[in-house]
Structure 1
């Protein structure tokens, strides 16, 4: 039987990725605001923030939002796999693959933002996630 805690490695990895992107977003935004002497009242809403800051500064914020979308489903399925003692090689490898693809997606999104490459990482991670969910569902139901 496989160590049930192994599924937590990619979960913790995703949490760390989210923290890194958040820190990068914060540092980029605050340094831009300070360098350009932007008053806080000019960026009081998300809409104002988007208008005041260039796209390159907003990209990490957009990525941070992405990390609060499909990865939430990844967290849920991982917890379900963990709680049901269903961890096996497939789930651990799939979880790690999801993490690696999301790291690639975040790197592209936060740096040079090539949409085609970013989409390839997104699509790959999505397929892995849906495969995890489909397999878990089928094994639980049948």
Structure 2
């Protein structure tokens, strides 16, 4: 198995996550300045200051947080699959599908798109991740 090729979806999702981080701060800093929010008053992630930010600013931050959650399972699984020798071309393909669906999920969320569409894409990505794990366990 091509080790680098198998792990390429991992680096792709990491790069995407860093791009969302840039979008988050490119929106958040100007919005906080426009709303005259003192950064020292924004210590709590759920503080009152958040309600002063537009939805698109909050949506980018929420998506960044989401990229710190379920994808951690994906990262751990991909390295486990590689190190355990159960990585396959099918799992590699499903990894790319998972990454693609996570990018679509991000685009929908960052643009404050329809929640049910975002949920559907998230569900497909989760089913993809579950399928990868089941395939590995059956190997």
When normalised by structure 2's length, the TM-score is 0.92
CA distance in 2, matches of 1:40, 1:76: 34
> Which residue does 1:111 correspond to in 2?
111
Greater Cα offset, 41-50 or 3-12: 41-50
Is the 2:87–2:136 contact (alpha carbons within 8 Å) kept by the matching residues of 1? no
Aligned length: 138
> Which residue does 1:102 correspond to in 2?
102
> Which residue does 1:70 correspond to in 2?
70
> Which residue does 2:54 correspond to in 1?
54
> Which residue does 1:36 correspond to in 2?
35
Cα distance per residue 1:57-98 (max 9 Å; x no partner)? 110111111111111110011001111233321011000000
Is the 2:6–2:92 contact (alpha carbons within 8 Å) kept by the matching residues of 1? yes
SS of match in other structure, 1:46: coil
Cα distance per residue 1:99-138 (max 9 Å; x no partner)? 0000000000001321111111101100000001111112
> Which residue does 1:82 correspond to in 2?
82
Which segments of 5 or more consecutive residues in structure 2 lack a partner in the other structure?
none
Cα distance per residue 1:24-46 (max 9 Å; x no partner)? 11111001112232222332211
Alpha-carbon RMSD across the aligned residues, in angstroms, is 1.3
Higher relative contact order (CA 8 A, sep 6+): 1
When normalised by structure 1's length, the TM-score is 0.90
SS of match in other structure, 2:104: helix
Greater Cα offset, 34-43 or 53-62: 34-43
Greater Cα offset, 45-54 or 121-130: 45-54
